[in-house]
Amino acid sequence: MMYDLARVERQHLANKKGPVFSLIRKLCACGKASTAKHLAQHGKCAACALAAVRDAILPGDFAKLQHMLGAVKQYPKSKWGWRNYFAAGSGQQHEAMQRLAAAGLATAGRACGDITYFYATRLGCKAAGLDGAGIKRAMED
Ligand SMILES: [Zn+2]
């Protein structure tokens, strides 16, 4: 049988087209598959990015973030995100909020005397364990 070079070349070109760059699956350092686009932007998969963010804050800060979003045991998970604010006084509360803000989990809002209102960002909502509906709820209020 003749080796059909032209046909092989056509197949090769068709294969090269493939999916668009951003959707090519690549592996994160942890071994989990992520999209090339996500890895290019964040250097790691979503789970690792979230873990890195959690490492940047203190456990007490995380509890405040959960409180901020009502993402606590007293409420069913389907309700999380029903609130999204934290009225921080000066001192430790304010320092905790600033760590959350530095980690990209919260953002400072209006101040009223010694009190500054902080709000969770989309990333903060994710870190607190909110699902898509919860994030929508928290970001809309
Ligand atoms: Zn990873």
Ligand 1 geometric centre to CA of 53 (Å): 13
Question: b or e along 1-15 (b: 16 or more beta carbons within 10 Å of the residue's beta carbon)?
Answer: eeeeeeeeeeeeeee
Taking the C-alpha atoms of residue 122 and residue 1, their distance in angstroms, rounded to an integer, is: 61
Ligand 1 geometric centre to CA of 124 (Å): 19
Ligand 1 geometric centre to CA of 15 (Å): 28
Ligand 1 geometric centre to CA of 129 (Å): 17
Ligand 1 geometric centre to CA of 49 (Å): 7
pLDDT at 122 over 80: yes
Measured N-to-C along each axis, helices 92-102 and 59-68 cross at an angle, to the nearest 10 degrees, of 90
Taking the C-alpha atoms of residue 74 and residue 95, their distance in angstroms, rounded to an integer, is: 26
The average pLDDT across 43-56 equals 84
Ligand 1 geometric centre to CA of 136 (Å): 25
106-112 and 115-120: which strand pairing?
Answer: antiparallel
Ligand 1 geometric centre to CA of 48 (Å): 4
Ligand 1 geometric centre to CA of 92 (Å): 32
**pLDDT single digits (tens) 61-108:** 999 999 999 999 999 999 999 999 999 998 999 999 999 999 999 999
**pLDDT single digits (tens) 26-46:** 889 899 988 888 888 888 888
Taking the C-alpha atoms of residue 89 and residue 97, their distance in angstroms, rounded to an integer, is: 10
